[in-house]
Structure 1
Amino acid sequence: MTQKHITWQAIISLMMALCLTPVAMAQLKPGATAPAFNAPAALAGNTFTFSLVETLKTGPVVVYFYPKAFTSGCSIEANLFAQATEDFQALGATVIGVSGDDIETLKKFSLGPCGGKFAVAADLDRTTMKAYQATLFFSSEMASRISYVVTPDLKIFFTHASLSPDQHVSSTLAAVKRWREQTK
């Protein structure tokens, strides 16, 4: 092997490692104060202004960030959250998805993969994504796939970061259940 070949092999290996672990690099930790935010949102095709502080008055909020509406992973995750909405509601929790998509796209997404079950919010200026350390490491224009359980005292109770959409719902639902048990 030539020196040039080894160098390219090392570069490719490093790039692959970075691509497989981007989400774990930065995230808010449990116990941190959750950044309060207001954002234009859509639920079942209807728009409104979502307020984290107002919503927390009724119980914990699952704030989940996703890269782009209507992509395969984001549609899978939204569908899973939609299927579990009643379980979250039974625990007094609210789910809100956040992405950099515009509100017109989110109106359609809230009817489609979200099934009209939970709201999705537009973060066009990316301030909420940045405050939650939820931007992709290689593009601050897109959200990473990261979910937070925020408690009524505006604290992060649980964080789940994974590019795979499969475990976000089950892990945040389990965290909400743990929080409920601790507050009894």
Structure 2
Amino acid sequence: MKRLLLACLISNAFALSANAALKEGDAAPDFKAQASLAGKAFDFSLQDTLKKGPVVVYFYPSAYTGGCNIQAHTFAVNYDKFAAAGATVIGVSLDSISRLNDFSADPEYCAGKVAVASDADGKIAKAYDIAVKEAAPGRKDTRGVDIDHGFAERTTFIVTPDGKVAATIGGIKPAENVEKSLEVVQKIAAAQHEGH
């Protein structure tokens, strides 16, 4: 019973904190971060990337953990659909860049298609009003490697080229999060197409 009560309290805490995240219409804080794509580090700039089209900024707890593996894999599988809608996808977590170099190249997960950025100090997550939990001592990833960083709450923001949040997606399963994100960017692309 205690365990069930604790699980309910934790899920309620996440539901409440999801409400604190930036909402549709809010200005998305600009950020620059070291990121990795296909195992190679590069400097990511939200402002520069928005010049090309909408950006899907997805915060996730940690590379090489169950839900995050599913989410990264689902983004990679749908990469061409996001690209066809003119959108760029960037994952953001508190992982170190060396962990992300492995994760971004891993054929099972990011598969060299999805870029992931390191927010080691949690500043980007905090700017987006994302809840960050401290690392639990002894927690290991799916490879058996110690996780020594905090966990950002799984929340996705669709940011339009004007720097505004078009949608905030949180509190749903990792694969559904990707599906909803794709729906939003496809609607944005369709609206732009009609406007021309």
Corresponding residue to 2:23 among 26, 29, 43: 29
Residue 124 of structure 2 aligns with an amino acid whose one-letter code is T
Deviation at residue 13 of structure 1 after TM alignment: 6.0
TM-score by length of 2: 0.83
Q: 1:128 to 1:139 in 2, by over 3 A?
A: same
1:128 paired residue among 115, 124, 130: 124
1:40 paired to 2:34: yes
Q: Evaluate the alpha carbon distance shift between residue 124 and residue 17 of structure 1 in structure 2; reply closer, same or farther with a 3 A threshold.
A: same
Report the residue type matching 1:165 in the other structure.
P
Distance, in Å, in 2 between the alignment partners of 1:124 and 1:12 is: 31
| Separation in 2, partners of 1:99, 1:62 | 14
1:62 is aligned to 2:56: yes
Q: Paired residue for 2:111?
A: 115
RMSD: 1.7
- Point out 4+ residue stretches in structure 1 off by more than 6 angstroms: none
Letter in 2 for 1:63: V
Is 1:18 equivalent to 2:6 in the alignment? Answer: no
Q: Where in structure 2 are the equivalents of 1:138-157 lying within 5 Å?
A: 138-139=133-134, 141-157=150-166
Match of 1:179 among 177, 180, 188: 188
> Given the alignment of the two structures, is residue 75 of structure 1 paired with residue 69 of structure 2, yes or no?
yes
- Count matched residues: 174
Give 1:93's aligned residue. Answer: 87
Q: Secondary structure at the match of 1:96?
A: strand
TM-score of the superposed pair, with normalisation by structure 1: 0.88
Of all paired residues, the percent bearing the same amino acid is: 44
CA distance in structure 2 between the partners assigned to 1:163 and 1:67 by the alignment? 14
Write the letter of the residue equivalent to 1:17.
C
Please report how far the alpha carbon of residue 164 of structure 1 lies from its aligned counterpart in structure 2 after TM superposition: 2.2
Counterpart residue type for residue 69 of structure 1: A
**Aligned amino acid, residue 151 of structure 1:** T
Matched, 1:103 2:97: yes
Q: 67-76 or 159-168: which moved more?
A: 159-168
Q: Which has the larger radius of gyration?
A: 1
| Range with greater deviation from structure 2 (16-25 or 30-39) | 16-25
2:44 match: 50
In structure 2, the gaps of 5 or more residues are: 136-149
Q: Distance in 1 between matches of 2:78 and 2:85?
A: 11
2:63 counterpart SS class: coil
